[in-house]
Chain A
């Protein structure tokens, strides 16, 4: 198992490198630059600024300088928030974003798995139909629309919860953002879990378990859940990427102090350093979480370990 883990970590590093490289050049290919604004800077100032950010160097040189910095742990200065380095901005916004994203991820995964199981066990009975409806809404309606509707209904009309904004330590301000963020993820997990659980409940080995007189509860808990989780777990990696990137938008909708605010600003202003730094960070995070997912996967499906 340990060897399997090491192998997975080592094989993830080249992927990270390639991804950063691709991001770097795609970003530069986009039209515009960080200092194109309505009122252009005087030429000599612009030259100084460009030199400061290495933008006067040939593109490939810039790339080498950037990679060199990253390897030393330096993500460079921000090109739109002049007084801050990229690392400083991330240190301000990231803890909140991660907390929000991971909270939503854990809650959504748990809800998805449990509701999927219930729907499978009560297949074609009313709990199943109810869940299918809720799941459909989550899958079809985009984040920002669900967000706006929930803000209107619970925040403005019913006034049960704050419609947006942030008060440190207030969980009430987190309820709606987490709900919006979780919904789509929970819906997909639930649908996957329902399908895979129904399939598992029809397998020969579940029939064998029943034939042993174990009782339905033990049959479900020991014989059905583990195999049924396999396709769900393999979706968790991509699912988490959706969720974390979705979080950037949701933060913006609800006016939350996460990295989303800086990131969207940075993307609009062509703040290369900030966009790359954030992307790199999320990528490493997603790679790490995917690794955890893979290990769980190997635990669920013994056959994987021997490949």
Chain B
């Protein structure tokens, strides 16, 4: 197993955002975590990257215990996160954002890999030296993903990457994830777009109030009534 999480707890003061959560991702898997607003999905990913401390539990990555490591140390273990809201550095140029993606690297292939990003996304190449704030939502998401990929992760975690994108761009995003997955990258995908996430994932987990309430192969989950009930029940409550 590439990622093994056991009994993970995340607390913010009195809020218990993640409760005794266990989770595993294999080397060549795309696993999706689903759940309504406030279920604790972001808290889970932030704890896995080390941005919030785990108040209990153990995280092993590539056979190494990373539970007490700082976010940069985890990145150097090649665990990367594309955060909620993309978190593009808007006062840096597109190119500088990409260079920041490779900040943790000291090898000489960085230049080649950055050029590879430009080949893949001509839109980014055209705006190379402009402040990243001029990018559209879709371009920002491409930049955020490319930036994470430049750290050469073994596992990439994405927090609701389809949020705010047009249906066409969502389609393109999922194609990209499918390709990355085919190239051998392991992915942990948090999504609200249940149907599409289950289409590309091999397995899924459903979170509710910090706990995993449902887990299994994608096909089984997609046809599970309880998923719809749990998920959309809460989504409806939080909507508006």
Same complex for A and B? Answer: no
Hey, which bits of chain B sit against chain A, CB under 8 A?
A: none
